[in-house]
């Protein structure tokens, strides 16, 4: 048999091609990225190449064949792990991994049930290149001599790699101007510069933020304050102080979206108690209200409610900026004689809450240690909502009044598992197990809230309190569009995906009698000033970006953390400006002023948080 002679750099070339193709196939199978034209498809295809050429090319500097092979093998393994982790993360968060999230290791234990549900057997595919590289190393003979590399050849190799990178960046810039300077959207980055380059970019951005704090000074605060003052909304005199002196009970409704309210699933009412509240004279129900969270999910919603500032773009602000100075709502209530707390039957370190709550001036955190979890009282992520809310009322009885507390529910959390005995309605029958179970856990949460209201009335606390309830963020991600489409009986468009970010918000004021449904377009950023004004507390001097929804000056405009936005007539999402009436794309110019405004607002919010600017306010300096 004729002996095959392999060209000198066969292992390197095979590794390069194998990882390149594995990455590309990974893109198309695991990430739901919108590709509009052939050029974008081409960019997606070529984007892993420049990085892989550079990183594998380092092998050319290694003299020993053994070392070189170990290096090539390690790179194929690391790149596979990066792609695999991103795929699993994407299924859960619908986003790509960013560095700060990786450092949230204390979350990983608790996330394990969700991670488990998101790892698929077929994910072994991401390691195809590792297997190919291993086989290549095993079967392709290498002699030390053949590996010597002339420096001219090496130079040429890196010139080609650099050229490919430039072409990649050039084409991307043409497709998406200002990609690297203005983008709030990780998907666009991955689509254009590739996962690997994106992670390098992320590293760069994170270290920049680090430096930002060091470089920030008081003058930037004045600039942000000007913007904030210009947007201040005067309280509505009819509403200011209607709940003065009352306790305020916030309930964070885990993953509750607005589409279930006043709706049915196969003939079953999903939220009978909340539906009743929408018609209750003591309740304001906000039916055109959006969550504004990012990757930090529940913790972002808490951050927004406390500060009326946006969470961070990459990662959870609860982790990245827990050392900042804040003037939170809890601190303000504390200054006004309130006893402030959070009640949540989970580990205190989850989402770094123990640390962040100190920065937010929350006086007491009733974490899992404050609860007794009896036999059968835990499911999914922890304590079930019914016993949690029941025991919380007992704890409330011990609190000095007036108090403010935020109760964070948990049962309606992905993967929406429930014990048989808690299933009040049957599952839905779509192709998405997640959506099918979601209706059942939502129904359970509704029951828990009903019981909570009863218990609160019995405790005597009810009459002297107001109850503010809101969905913390979406529960059903875009990965379930097909099933959602079946439920809503329409094809889900990017416009629908925006509208599905509506979460219900209720303000229940016992004895008030003039409640109604409020259709004003609003969002979580508005909770803080709205509630403070109801309690008769002034917000004129506050460094916050929300507006009282009852105010005549309230602007119907909602900005998402990722730069999407909603106005009364338009929705801007993924570079397209839609007319809400027709559901069709319109002339982009109509959205332009709002895009500008959204960038300004998000920019100032980031400036305040990244620069830790609130440390420069008078109060802090004292």
Contact of residue 346 among Mn ion, ligand GP9, none (CB under 5-8 Å per partner type): ligand GP9
Per-residue binding letters, 127-156, with Mn ion (x by CB under 5 A):
------------------------------
Among this protein's residues, is 409 annotated catalytic?
Answer: no
Per-residue binding letters, 389-408, with ligand GP9 (x by CB under 6 A):
-------------------x
Contact of residue 350 among ligand GP9, Mn ion, none (CB under 5-8 Å per partner type): ligand GP9
CB of 38 to ligand GP9, least distance (A): 38
Per-residue binding letters, 188-227, with ligand GP9 (x by CB under 6 A):
----------------------------------------
Ranges within 326-385 binding ligand GP9 (CB under 6 A): 346, 350-351
Q: Which of 22, 298, 434, 530 is catalytic?
A: 298
List Cα–Cα distances, 159 to 8, 62, 75, 155, 170, in angstroms: 20, 19, 21, 6, 16
- 455 part of the interface to Mn ion, by CB under 5 A: no
Dist CA 508 CA 248 (whole Å): 10
Which residue's CB comes closest to ligand GP9? 297
- 413 part of the interface to ligand GP9, by CB under 6 A: yes
Among the listed ranges 289-297, 315-323, 395-403, 502-510, the one in contact with Mn ion (CB under 5 A) is 289-297
Applying CB under 6 A, among 297, 332, 443, 561 the residue interacting with ligand GP9 is: 297
Contact of residue 408 among ligand GP9, Mn ion, none (CB under 5-8 Å per partner type): ligand GP9
- 472 part of the interface to Mn ion, by CB under 5 A: yes
CB of 408 to ligand GP9, least distance (A): 5
- 302 part of the interface to Mn ion, by CB under 5 A: no
Nearer to ligand GP9, 351 or 616 (CB): 351
Nearer to ligand GP9, 15 or 345 (CB): 345
- 50 part of the interface to ligand GP9, by CB under 6 A: no
What 3-state class would DSSP assign to 238? coil
Per-residue binding letters, 556-585, with ligand GP9 (x by CB under 6 A):
------------------------------
Q: Are 11 and 69 in contact (CB under 8 A)?
A: yes
Q: Are 442 and 412 in contact (CB under 8 A)?
A: yes
Q: What share of the chain is helix, strand, coil (3-state, %, to 5)?
A: 55, 10, 35
Dist CA 295 CA 195 (whole Å): 18
Instruction: Check residue 241 and report its DSSP letter.
Output: T
First-last CA distance in the chain: 87
Nearer to Mn ion, 129 or 302 (CB): 302
Applying CB under 5 A, among 258, 298, 322, 436 the residue interacting with Mn ion is: 298
Sheet containing 517-518: give its strands across.
364-366, 339-343, 403-408, 247-253, 465-471, 505-508, 283-286, 517-518
List Cα–Cα distances, 514 to 280, 450, 461, 467, 528, in angstroms: 9, 21, 21, 15, 21
Dist CA 527 CA 549 (whole Å): 8
CB of 41 to ligand GP9, least distance (A): 34
Residue reference for tokens 């983008």:
183
Nearer to Mn ion, 129 or 254 (CB): 254
Q: Return the HEC string of 409-439.
A: CCCCCCCCCCCHHHCCCCCCCCCCHHHHHHH
Q: For strand 505-508 and strand 465-471, is the pairing parallel, antiparallel, or unpaired? A: antiparallel
* Greatest alpha-carbon span in the chain: 95
Q: Give backbone dihedrals phi and psi of 565, rounded to 5 degrees, phi first.
A: -150, 160
Nearer to Mn ion, 495 or 503 (CB): 503
CB of 472 to Mn ion, least distance (A): 4
Nearer to ligand GP9, 52 or 410 (CB): 410
Nearer to Mn ion, 255 or 551 (CB): 255
List Cα–Cα distances, 207 to 169, 179, 399, 481, in angstroms: 22, 19, 43, 36
CB of 321 to ligand GP9, least distance (A): 17
* H/E segment holding residue 579: strand 576-579
CB of 347 to ligand GP9, least distance (A): 8
Contact of residue 304 among Mn ion, ligand GP9, none (CB under 5-8 Å per partner type): none
Instruction: Check residue 235 and report its DSSP letter.
Output: P
Dist CA 164 CA 148 (whole Å): 25
Per-residue binding letters, 91-130, with ligand GP9 (x by CB under 6 A):
----------------------------------------
What's the gap between Cα 223 and its chain centre?
A: 28
Applying CB under 6 A, among 23, 298, 411, 434 the residue interacting with ligand GP9 is: 298
Which residue's CB comes closest to Mn ion? 298
List Cα–Cα distances, 147 to 58, 59, 73, 574, in angstroms: 13, 10, 17, 48
Residue partners of 525: CB distance under 8 A and separation at least 6: 292, 304, 308, 310, 545, 546, 547, 558, 559
Ranges within 518-547 binding ligand GP9 (CB under 6 A): none
Footprint of Mn ion (CB under 5 A): 254, 297-298, 472
Point out the residues that are catalytic. 298
Footprint of ligand GP9 (CB under 6 A): 297-299, 346, 350-351, 408, 410, 413
């Amino acid at each position: 048999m004729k002996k095959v002679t392999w060209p000198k750099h066969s292992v390197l070339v095979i590794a390069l091609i194998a990882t390149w193709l594995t990455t590309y196939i990974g893109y198309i199978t695991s990430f739901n990225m919108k590709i509009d034209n052939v050029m974008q498809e081409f960019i997606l295809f070529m984007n892993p190449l420049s990085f892989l050429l550079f990183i594998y090319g380092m092998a050319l500097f290694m003299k020993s064949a053994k070392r070189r092979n170990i290096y090539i093998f390690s790179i194929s393994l690391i790149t596979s792990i990066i792609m695999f982790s991103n795929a699993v993360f994407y299924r859960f968060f619908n986003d790509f991994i960013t560095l700060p999230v990786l450092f949230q290791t204390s979350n990983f234990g608790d996330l394990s049930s969700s991670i488990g549900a998101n790892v698929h057997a077929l994910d072994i595919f991401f390691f195809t290149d590792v297997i190919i590289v291993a086989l290549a190393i095993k079967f392709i003979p290498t002699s030390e001599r053949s590996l010597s590399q002339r420096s001219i050849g090496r130079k040429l190799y890196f010139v080609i790699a650099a050229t490919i990178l430039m072409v990649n960046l050039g084409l991307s810039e043409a497709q998406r101007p200002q990609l690297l300077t203005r983008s709030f959207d990780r998907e666009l980055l991955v689509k254009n510069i590739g996962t690997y380059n994106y992670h390098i970019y992320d590293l760069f951005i994170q270290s920049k933020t680090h430096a930002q704090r060091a470089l920030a000074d008081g003058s930037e605060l004045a600039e942000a304050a000007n913007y904030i003052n210009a947007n201040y909304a005067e309280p509505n005199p009819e509403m200011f102080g209607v709940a003065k002196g009352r306790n305020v009970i916030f309930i964070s409704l885990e993953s509750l979206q607005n589409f279930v309210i006043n709706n049915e699933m196969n003939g079953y009412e999903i939220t009978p108690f909340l539906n009743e509240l929408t018609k209750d004279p003591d309740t304001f129900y906000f039916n055109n209200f959006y969550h504004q969270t990012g990757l930090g999910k529940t913790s972002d919603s808490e951050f927004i409610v406390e500060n009326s500032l946006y969470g961070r773009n990459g990662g959870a602000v609860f982790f990245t900026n827990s050392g900042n100075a804040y003037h939170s709502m809890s601190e303000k209530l504390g200054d006004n004689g309130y006893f402030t707390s959070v009640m949540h039957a989970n580990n205190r370190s989850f989402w770094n809450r123990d640390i962040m709550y100190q920065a937010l001036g929350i006086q007491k955190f009733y974490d899992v240690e404050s609860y007794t979890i009896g036999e059968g009282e835990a499911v999914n992520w922890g304590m079930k909502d019914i016993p949690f809310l029941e025991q919380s009322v007992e704890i409330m009885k011990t609190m000095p009044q007036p108090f403010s507390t935020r109760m964070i529910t948990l049962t309606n959390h992905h993967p929406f598992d429930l014990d048989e005995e808690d299933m009040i309605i049957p599952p839905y029958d779509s192709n998405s197990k997640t959506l099918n179970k979601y209706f059942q856990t939502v129904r359970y949460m509704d029951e828990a809230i009903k019981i909570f209201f009863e218990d609160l009335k019995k405790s005597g606390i009810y009459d002297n309190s107001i109850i503010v309830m809101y969905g913390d963020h979406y529960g059903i991600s875009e990965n379930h569009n097909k099933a959602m489409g079946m439920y809503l009986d329409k094809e889900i468009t990017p416009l629908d995906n925006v509208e599905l970010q509506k979460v219900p918000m209720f303000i229940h004021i016992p004895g008030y009698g003039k409640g109604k449904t409020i259709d004003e377009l609003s969002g979580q950023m508005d909770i803080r000033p709205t509630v403070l004004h109801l309690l008769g507390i002034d917000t004129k001097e506050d460094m916050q970006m929300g507006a009282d929804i009852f105010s005549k000056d309230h602007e119907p405009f909602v900005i998402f953390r990722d730069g999407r936005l909603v106005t009364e007539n338009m929705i801007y999402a993924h570079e397209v400006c839609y007319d809400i009436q027709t559901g069709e794309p319109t002339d982009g110019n109509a959205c332009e002023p709002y895009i500008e405004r959204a960038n300004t607002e998000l920019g100032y919010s980031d400036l305040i948080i990244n620069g830790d600017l609130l440390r420069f306010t008078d109060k802090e300096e004292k």
